[in-house]
A and B are shown apart, each in its own frame.
Chain A
Amino acid sequence: MAATASQGGRSGGGGGSSGAGGGPSCGTSSSRSGLLDKGREVFISIPVISLAMKKCNQGWKIDDKPVKIDKWDGSAVKNSLDDSAKKVLLEKYKYVENFGLIDGRLTICTISCFFAIVALIWDYMHPFPESKPVLALCVISYPFFFNEKSIFLVAHRKDPTGMDPDDIWQLSSSLKRFDDKYTLKLTFISGRTKQQREAEFTKSIAKFFDHSGTLVMDAYEPEISRLHDSLATERKIK
């Protein structure tokens, strides 16, 4: 994203481009333009800046606003990192999300809640001693509905040549409670050979968030691209 913005700046020509292009967020580019006080350069820099900002907005930001969360809240941190990883994979590499796994998990949880509600209503209709068998059934079957795998994205890429099986990419992550080390694991399952390869990285969340709790995509996105490329290139070599 930064590269395209600076290219737009350079093509505009003139001294204004060095200030306008290459800012990490669109907000700072306008403040830098304020420094360019010389009349001629201001004249040239305005279309350059507007072009840069347009390119900025065309790039992927989550909801056009940098994500800001409470940096001490572990689950919010993990969720925002997961969502950003999802965005990178879906928007930059144009994969298609497969909702099958997520939907399956949602239905299983719904069924378990349903069992609990059935137990509650049955016990209300038939007071306790008669409802014992139904209650026992519901209580025993309830724990079987739990399945805590940490995969949060299954995406596949349609083979461009149209040959059948799609390659599948899976993302899973973990962040221990009160810990700062975030592990992201990317799994690649080739459609053709059914082989599975994985790559992961473990980094402190302090590397991706600034002091106010804003997720800095410029630090996060290269990590994900690196994971992705390491799996993709292996495939080409083979």
Chain B
Amino acid sequence: MLSLDFLDDVRRMNKRQLYYQVLNFGMIVSSALMIWKGLMVITGSESPIVVVLSGSMEPAFHRGDLLFLTNRVEDPIRVGEIVVFRIEGREIPIVHRVLKIHEKQNGHIKFLTKGDNNAVDDRGLYKQGQHWLEKKDVVGRARGYYQENRSVEDRNCKLQV
């Protein structure tokens, strides 16, 4: 019965109305897309919102938390900051803290990362033969996070600029 009603509706529409319905759907999808691309442009990062996938940054970040990133050229990466990076050849971004940085006069840097909850640094995760990460591997630096409430004391939503 339900499908017949739907077919009746479609038959009742002339081709303009049908096209309008399709267009409506397209507009919704396009709006979502444009918001995402707009965020990409504003933050300068190719993935402005990421989800924490593992527990390697506990107790700061737990699995399932949202991180808001920026990747502006004028903000230098410093030790102690939390960066999201991709290792060459791997798709999944990793959220860890910067441990050591080597910086040249011309601004070129290479840095080492480690997860707060891990026992060793990330050299084991990097590509074969790679010992340092570079700016081009960085997806963005964490600027704020959103955590679903776990217990009453832990419920927080902080945004730092």
A interface, CB within 8 angstroms of B: 62-63, 99, 102, 106, 109-110, 112-113, 115-117, 119-120, 123, 127-129, 132, 135-136, 138-139, 142
Contact = CB atoms under 8 A, between A and B. Distances in A.
Contact of A132 (B11, B12, B41): B41
Interface string B40-59: 11001010000000000000
Given A62-B12, A116-B30, A119-B33, A139 B38 contact: yes
14 contacts: A106-B16, A109-B27, A113-B23, A113-B26, A115-B30, A116-B30, A119-B33, A119-B37, A135-B37, A138-B37, A139-B34, A139-B37, A139-B41, A142-B34
B40 A135 contact: yes
Contact of B37 (A62, A113, A123, A127): A123
B30 A135 contact: no
A33 to B, nearest CB: 28
Contacts, number: 50
Q: Which one of A99, A115, A138 has the greatest number of beta carbons of chain B within 10 Å?
A: A138
A188 to B, nearest CB: 24
Contacts of B41: 132, 135-136, 139
Nearest to B39: A139
Interface residues of B, number: 19
Contact of B20 (A62, A106, A129, A132): A106
B12 A128 contact: no
Most chain B beta-carbon neighbours within 10 Å: one of A63, A109, A123, A127: A109
Contacts of B12: 62-63
A112 B33 contact: no
Closest 10 CB pairs of A and B: A116-B30, A128-B46, A139-B38, A113-B26, A142-B34, A136-B41, A109-B23, A113-B30, A135-B37, A135-B41
B2 to A, nearest CB: 11
Interface string B1-37: 0000000000110001001100100110111011001
Contacts of A106: 16, 19-20, 23
B33 A110 contact: no
Contacts of B26: 109, 113
Contacts of A112: 27, 30
B37 A99 contact: no
